[in-house]
């Protein structure tokens, strides 16, 4: 392909799974992707 | 999670918030369809139910576990989360599932390498005892889409989770689709007896041929065989891998006369939607004039014996290959699917064969890209080299293709890379299309060729043509006419056409995974491709009280979008219509606060219905006040204290007054007697 004109855009940007997405976003969620309600949840 | 209070109704209300990415909205709909196909869990737009799932674009992908009864329960599908598997994962959390490796018995199956976990991240490897979490009598599942990958939260390159059976080391964490065990647990938790959109599957392995019947009034029958004269030599389900199994149905056209027909009719089926997709594998080894037709026999009160209706003729010359076919049906009453084989003119050395039939109330994929000898292509294509599918024309007129890196790229050598591109098509058609191409979602699915559609763990990724995105470092639009922004290429037959830039991922699927399950069958891989217009997703989901279709819509300017690598200035997006409330609507002048919704009371008066939770509620004519159970307790305590205090005061006052009155009374009496009282001992 004449790469000067036709490109490819990687929507993942190198991130493989949702836990990597969350870590890259700086999230520190319970078990990686769980919202935790102290009032209703259990003590971790 | 143990506790009926965490369950949702089997039809879960959802609300897609406006901030969601358009592609994410489309993928959420696809994830819902997988739930409907494989479980009894259905999803419906929120129509005022007390509790519902609000899907929004947060900064990541996350959810609560189970129904928390908080009214509006949030679930985030942020940037990078718009994959079917990720969305299914988050909704499994919402439905009440923890991660697989947090099971009470997980230490029997995996070893957590605590010294390899990033500092402070140990809490991610909690486990729950069997009073909190139930495995629902399903064995530990390395395939689960709720399982972490081996390197989760690792501070280096060494795995944090080591599977006790080494073969599963690279299996864990590869979220493709629901595993068999995921489905078993979900269906057990919600007492599912049937899936919402699944109708039938048949691989013809059992002698009862899934309740199919030989049609009446035909001249010949379909035979239940493991091989047929003239081909095929094996079935498609097992590809002859298992001795004594591997059946399919065959109609031989070697003998008989021209015009002989054989009908194979499915059992009775009861549709819920008025559209279905029939998928099957077909082997044609007869004469080119032999043909297969798909009919439906529909039953209603007028025709209790059923009426036949022709749907489609399967055409094409004989080919030594099990071909995948899709047929769209549009049945809304009780029916049977009828496979009608007809012997054509001329001699035949074979016949027609059928295997792996699946019928579901879903939309059929539009295009099939079959890559023969795929393993060989993976091994022999130079790394960083793409192969391209044929060009496919969508029903909207746009022509597109898929590019695949079978041996990965330098950066991602272990993966398959997959990209979607627009291409030029017919000049006349292209010139009448809207450019840049607006809001078309292209889905690329590597089909797991398991015979049963419910057990398939296919890998799919979708991208959407945002007409506002620009090419990196350019003022030109990414999804503009490929004749304008693409490069001219030459097809294998010498045809020249234009190919636009690719949008997709270099990490589509690991090559190891592509070699597993039934992604490759008979040496071939099958990609299912489709393009769908999802511009309707630009509209806000109607709120319960304001569902007003076909009303006058105002225009709104959307935010501009550019790719991260692009430095060109942003531009204004073309105006887009969004839903609004008609001026005559009584709710137009009423603003309900705090997520309250406006309803028309008795058709004459607008009133706010306020959001309520488990222990709190809003009230007031605009839902402007909030109260909770705690408020009630405080009120009760304060009221009791006040009442008690008032009663004490009243009693003291009454006592004092009574004593004073008595004192005065006796004092007056003694004064009236004129002397003091002489006391004496009256009993002495």
A and B: number of Cβ contacts within 8 A? 127
Residue B637 CB coordination number (10 Å): 10
* CA–CA distance, B214 with B336 (Å, rounded to integer): 12
Task: Give the residue on B whose Cα is nearest the Cα of A7.
Answer: B501
Percent of all residues in chain B with a pLDDT value above 90, rounded to a whole number: 76
* CA–CA distance, B406 with B380 (Å, rounded to integer): 9
**Quick one: average pLDDT of B275-294?**
97
* CA–CA distance, B286 with B182 (Å, rounded to integer): 43
pLDDT at B666 over 80: no
Q: What is the pLDDT of residue B660?
A: 76
- State pLDDT tens for residues B59-118: 999 999 999 999 999 999 999 999 999 999 999 999 999 999 999 999 999 999 999 999
CB contact under 8 A, B93 and A34: yes
- State pLDDT tens for residues A15-42: 778 988 998 898 888 999 999 865 544 4
Residues of chain B found within 8 Å of residue A38, distances taken between Cβ atoms? none
pLDDT at B246 over 50: yes
CB contact under 8 A, B153 and A44: no
Q: Bridge-partner residues for B261, per DSSP?
A: B342
**Which tokens in the block code for residue B412?**
């991602």
In angstroms, the separation between the Cα of residue B499 and the nearest Cα of chain A is 8
Residue in A5, A21, A30 nearest the CB of B80: A21
Q: What is the mean pLDDT of chain A?
A: 76
- State pLDDT tens for residues B462-483: 999 999 999 988 899 999 999 9
Q: What is the pLDDT of residue B78?
A: 96
Q: ipTM of the predicted structure?
A: 0.87
pLDDT at B575 over 70: no
In angstroms, the separation between the Cα of residue A32 and the nearest Cα of chain B is 6
What SS3 state is found at B513?
A: helix
Residue of B33, B90, B100, B205 marked catalytic: B90
**Using 50, 70 and 90 to split pLDDT, how confident is the model at B561?**
very low
Q: What is the pLDDT of residue B352?
A: 98
pLDDT at B571 over 60: no
**Which tokens in the block code for residue B206?**
């059992």
Comparing C-alpha atoms, which of B603, B606, B609, B556 is closest to residue B579? B556
Q: What is the pLDDT of residue B89?
A: 97
Q: Can B90 be counted among the known catalytic residues?
A: yes
What SS3 state is found at B124?
A: helix
CB contact under 8 A, B149 and A6: no
**Using 50, 70 and 90 to split pLDDT, how confident is the model at B626?**
confident
- State pLDDT tens for residues B635-663: 555 556 556 666 777 787 777 777 776 77
**Quick one: average pLDDT of B603-630?**
67
Residues of chain B found within 8 Å of residue A25, distances taken between Cβ atoms? 59-60, 78
> Which residues of chain B from 139 to 168 reach within 8 Å of chain A, CB to CB?
148-149, 152-153
Comparing C-alpha atoms, which of B522, B511, B523, B508 is closest to residue B378? B511
* CA–CA distance, B405 with B383 (Å, rounded to integer): 8
* CA–CA distance, B587 with B605 (Å, rounded to integer): 9
Residues of chain B found within 8 Å of residue A43, distances taken between Cβ atoms? none
Residues of chain A found within 8 Å of residue B478, distances taken between Cβ atoms? 9
Percent of all residues in chain B with a pLDDT value above 70, rounded to a whole number: 85
Q: In this predicted model, which residue has the larger pLDDT, B550 or B475?
A: B475
Residue B549 CB coordination number (10 Å): 6
**Which tokens in the block code for residue B516?**
């597993």
Comparing C-alpha atoms, which of B135, B192, B274, B145 is closest to residue B11? B192
- Dihedral sign for Cα B57, B63, B64, B67, please: positive
- Contacting residues for B79 by C-beta, under 8 A, at least 6 apart: A21, B21, B57
Residues of chain A found within 8 Å of residue B148, distances taken between Cβ atoms? 19, 32
Residue B100 C-beta-side C-alpha neighbours within 13 Å: 29
- Burial class from Cβ neighbours inside 10 Å (0-12, 13-18, 19+) for residue A18 reads buried
Q: What is the pLDDT of residue B554?
A: 32
Q: What is the pLDDT of residue B483?
A: 96
Structure-derived torsion over alpha carbons of residues B138, B139, B141, B146, reported in degrees to the nearest 10:
40
Residue in A25, A27, A44 nearest the CB of B123: A44
**Using 50, 70 and 90 to split pLDDT, how confident is the model at A43?**
very low
DSSP string, B29-73: HHHHHHHHHHSS-EEEE-SS-SSEEEEE--SSEEE-SS----SEE
* CA–CA distance, B80 with A13 (Å, rounded to integer): 9
Task: Give the residue on B whose Cα is nearest the Cα of A6.
Answer: B501
Q: Helix B22-38 vs helix B84-95: angle between axes, to the nearest 10 degrees?
A: 60
* Contact between residue B333 and residue B299 where contact means Cβ atoms under 8 Å apart: yes
């Amino acid at each position: 392909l004449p790469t000067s004109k036709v490109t490819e855009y990687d929507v993942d940007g190198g991130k493989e799974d949702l836990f990597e997405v969350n870590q890259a976003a700086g999230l520190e969620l319970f078990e990686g992707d769980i919202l935790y309600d102290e009032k209703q949840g259990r003590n971790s | 999670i143990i506790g009926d209070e965490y369950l949702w109704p089997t039809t879960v209300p959802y609300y897609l918030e406006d901030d969601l990415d358009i592609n994410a909205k489309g993928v959420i709909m696809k994830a819902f369809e997988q739930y409907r196909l494989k479980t009894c869990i259905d999803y419906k737009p929120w129509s005022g139910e007390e509790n519902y799932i609000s899907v929004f674009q947060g900064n990541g992908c996350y959810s609560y576990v189970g129904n928390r009864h908080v009214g509006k329960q949030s679930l985030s599908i942020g940037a990078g989360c718009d994959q079917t598997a990720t969305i299914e994962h988050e909704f499994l959390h919402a439905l009440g599932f923890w991660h697989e490796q947090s099971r009470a018995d997980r230490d029997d199956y995996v070893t957590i390498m605590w010294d390899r976990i990033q500092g402070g991240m140990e809490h991610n490897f909690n486990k729950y005892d069997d009073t909190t979490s139930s495995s629902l009598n399903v064995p530990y599942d390395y395939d689960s889409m709720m399982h972490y990958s081996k390197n989760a939260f690792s501070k280096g390159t060494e795995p944090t989770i080591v599977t006790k059976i080494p073969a599963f080391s690279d299996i864990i964490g590869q979220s493709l689709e629901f595993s068999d065990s995921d489905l078993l647990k979900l269906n057990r938790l919600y007492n599912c007896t049937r899936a919402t959109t699944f109708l039938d599957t048949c691989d013809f392995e059992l002698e009862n041929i899934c309740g199919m019947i030989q049609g009446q009034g035909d001249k010949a029958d379909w035979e239940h065989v493991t091989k047929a004269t003239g081909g095929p030599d094996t079935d498609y389900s097992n590809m002859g891998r298992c001795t004594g199994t591997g059946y399919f149905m065959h109609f031989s056209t070697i003998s008989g006369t021209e015009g002989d027909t054989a009908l194979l009719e499915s059992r009775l089926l009861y549709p819920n939607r008025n559209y279905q997709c029939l998928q099957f594998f077909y082997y044609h080894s007869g004469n080119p004039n032999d043909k297969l037709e798909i009919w439906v026999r529909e039953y209603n009160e007028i025709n209790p014996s059923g009426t036949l209706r022709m749907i489609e003729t399967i055409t094409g010359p004989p080919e030594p290959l099990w071909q995948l076919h899709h047929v769209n049906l549009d049945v809304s009453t009780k029916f049977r699917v009828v496979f009608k084989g007809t012997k054509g003119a001329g001699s035949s050395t074979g016949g027609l064969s059928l295997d792996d039939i699946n019928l579901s109330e879903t939309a059929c994929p539009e295009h099939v890209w079959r890559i023969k000898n795929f393993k060989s292509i993976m091994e022999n294509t130079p790394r960083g080299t793409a192969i391209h599918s044929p060009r496919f024309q969508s029903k909207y007129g746009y022509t597109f293709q898929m590019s695949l890196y079978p041996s990965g790229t330098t950066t991602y050598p272990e993966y398959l890379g997959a990209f979607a591109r627009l291409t030029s098509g017919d000049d006349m058609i292209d010139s009448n299309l809207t450019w840049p191409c607006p809001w078309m979602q292209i889905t690329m699915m590597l089909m797991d060729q398991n015979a049963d559609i419910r057990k398939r763990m296919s890998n799919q990724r979708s991208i959407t043509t945002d007409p506002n995105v620009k090419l990196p470092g350019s003022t030109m639009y990414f999804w503009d006419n490929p004749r304008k922004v693409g490069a001219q290429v030459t097809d294998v037959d010498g045809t020249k056409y234009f190919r636009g830039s690719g949008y997709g991922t270099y990490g589509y699927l690991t090559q190891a995974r592509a070699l597993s399950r039934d992604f490759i069958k008979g040496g071939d891989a099958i990609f299912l491709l489709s393009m769908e217009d999802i511009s309707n997703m630009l509209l806000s989901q109607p709120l319960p009280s304001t569902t007003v279709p076909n009303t006058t819509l105002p225009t709104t300017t959307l935010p501009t979008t550019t790719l991260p690598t692009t430095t060109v200035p942003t531009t204004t997006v073309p105006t887009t219509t969004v839903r609004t409330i008609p001026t005559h609507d009584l709710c137009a002048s009423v603003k309900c606060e705090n997520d309250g919704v406006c309803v028309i009371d008795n058709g004459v008066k607008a009133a706010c219905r306020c959001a309520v939770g488990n222990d709190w509620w809003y009230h007031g004519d605009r839902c402007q006040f909030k109260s909770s159970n705690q408020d009630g307790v405080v009120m009760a305590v304060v009221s009791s204290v006040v009442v008690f205090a008032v009663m004490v005061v009243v009693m003291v006052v009454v006592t004092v007054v009574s004593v004073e009155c008595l004192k005065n009374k006796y004092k007056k009496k003694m004064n009236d007697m004129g002397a003091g009282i002489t006391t004496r001992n009256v009993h002495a």
